[in-house]
Amino acid sequence: LATETGTPIVPQSGNTGLVGAQVPDKSGHDIVLSLSRLNRIREIDVLSNTVTAEAGVILQTLQEAADAADRLFPLSLAAQGSCQIGGNLSSNAGGTGVLAYGNARELCLGVEVVLPTGEVFDDLRKLKKDNTGYDLKNLFVGAEGTLGVITAAVLKLFPKPKGREVAFAGLPSSPKDALSLFTLAMDRAGASLTAFELIARRPYDFTLKHGQGITRPLADDWPWYVLMQISSGRSEEDGKALIEEILSAGLEQGIVGDAVVSASLAQGDALWNFRETLPECQKLEGASIKHDISVPIASIPDFIEKAAGVVEGVCPGARVVCFGHMGDGNLHYNI
């Protein structure tokens, strides 16, 4: 009917995105299509390590269902308590786990989509290897509903890590320290390095100022900070020894000024909560122009230095708020 009448359909998921793709125009003639009632987890297959979920399933609900099956669904972002799987796929969401597990596209094995003609394209396959022709699901992942409405998907699960160690480090000078620490961590930990987050002093201070129940991770203030996670498939002791080895080497090389390693799962969660609270606390400082950008990892220090000069030249006195997923080259650069 919408196709016949030329009526636009605007799919809405959890309405956590800020880029406006889910906002109808001012004509008043758009159809707003909410996917929130498509909220069933149809199947968890622990042998295939897959989950089949409908588009309206909340990300955190899916994470918890996977955890109950002794599996990990690694897509994780600050809005996970309200964002939905359909929106995650339509925007090819990244989050904090991209370094180890990839974007939403890499986590998707198959999709069910309603096309503009009203036909249902059913490609809910569990196969990790399928070389039979075109991989059509990738046309829909990241397309923001322009080619069809995703109604369900088959997603990858992973074995739960036996140990997870989180560290929060203060860096003495610049993002170049973070790049050196990242190189060191990759050399020592390899695939066990599952997160590497960069935080500038300004968003750090905003979080201490506005965050509810937030505690100071380190006694002293530093120009830059890193949150790092090591996941071990064998034991907590392996991960703890590895992260302490990396930080000790960083201290010796002068690229780490101070650091704390989580002593429990609760403390690790608290360190992650500090990172995930950053966007919310930034909002309380006023409106901003947001940029979610991708930069080659090796170029991040130079980009940050040069961009700061450009911003000051264009808008003197503007405050730059920089943080993000340095491990996969994705920065939130807000002004």
Give how far the C-alpha of residue 56 lies from the chain's centroid of Cα atoms, to the nearest Å.
19
Angle, nearest 10°, between helix axes 201-210 and 265-283?
A: 100
In a domain, 233, yes or no: yes
In a domain, 305, yes or no: no
In a domain, 330, yes or no: no
* Co-location of 117 and 185 in the same domain: no
* Co-location of 67 and 144 in the same domain: yes
In a domain, 127, yes or no: yes
* Co-location of 147 and 78 in the same domain: yes
Phi, psi for residue 9 in degrees, rounded to 5 = -110, 130
In a domain, 223, yes or no: yes
* Co-location of 136 and 244 in the same domain: no
Residue-number span of the structural domain to which 236 is assigned: 163-284
Question: What is the 3-class SS of 87-102, one letter each residue?
Answer: HHHHCCCCECCHHHHC
Q: Is 248 left (phi over 0), alpha (psi -120 to 50) or beta?
A: alpha
* Co-location of 191 and 262 in the same domain: yes
pLDDT string in tens for the chain (335-residue length): 788 888 888 888 877 776 666 777 788 888 888 999 999 999 999 999 999 999 999 999 999 999 999 999 999 988 899 999 999 999 999 888 899 999 999 999 999 999 999 999 999 999 888 888 889 999 999 998 889 999 999 999 999 988 889 999 999 999 999 999 999 999 999 999 999 999 999 999 999 999 999 999 999 999 999 999 999 877 777 889 999 999 999 999 999 999 999 999 899 999 999 999 999 999 999 999 989 899 999 999 999 999 999 999 999 999 999 999 999 999 999 99
* Co-location of 154 and 176 in the same domain: no
Give the residue from 132, 159, 186 where a domain finishes: 159
What is the tally of structural domains in the chain?
Answer: 2
Q: List all residues 6 or more positions away from 216 whose beta carbon is below 8 Å from its beta carbon.
A: 208
Q: Which of 320, 180, 194 is nearest to 256 (CA)?
A: 180
Give the residue from 128, 159, 190 where a domain finishes: 159
In this predicted structure, what is the pLDDT of residue 1? 78
* Co-location of 147 and 208 in the same domain: no
Report how far residue 240's alpha carbon sits from residue 181's, in angstroms, rounded to the nearest whole number: 17
Q: Could you tell me the CATH number of the domain that includes residue 144?
A: 3.30.465.10
Q: Which of 288, 266, 300 is nearest to 196 (CA)?
A: 300
* Co-location of 82 and 174 in the same domain: no
* Co-location of 125 and 196 in the same domain: no
Strands 330-334 and 292-294: antiparallel
Give the residue from 142, 159, 176 where a domain finishes: 159
Report how far residue 56's alpha carbon sits from residue 182's, in angstroms, rounded to the nearest whole number: 36
In a domain, 206, yes or no: yes
The angle subtended at Cα 69 by Cα 66 and Cα 73, nearest 5°, is 20
In this predicted structure, what is the pLDDT of residue 239? 85
* Co-location of 149 and 241 in the same domain: no
* Co-location of 275 and 169 in the same domain: yes
Q: List all residues 6 or more positions away from 334 whose beta carbon is below 8 Å from its beta carbon.
A: 282, 288, 289, 290, 291, 320, 321, 322
Q: Could you tell me the CATH number of the domain that includes residue 199?
A: 3.30.70.2190
Q: List all residues 6 or more positions away from 51 whose beta carbon is below 8 Å from its beta carbon.
A: 41, 43, 44, 45, 62, 65, 66, 71, 73, 154, 155, 157
In a domain, 35, yes or no: yes
In this predicted structure, what is the pLDDT of residue 129? 86
In a domain, 293, yes or no: no
* Co-location of 9 and 133 in the same domain: yes
- Using a 10 angstrom Cβ sphere, with 0-12 exposed, 13-18 middle and 19 or more buried, the burial of residue 95 is buried
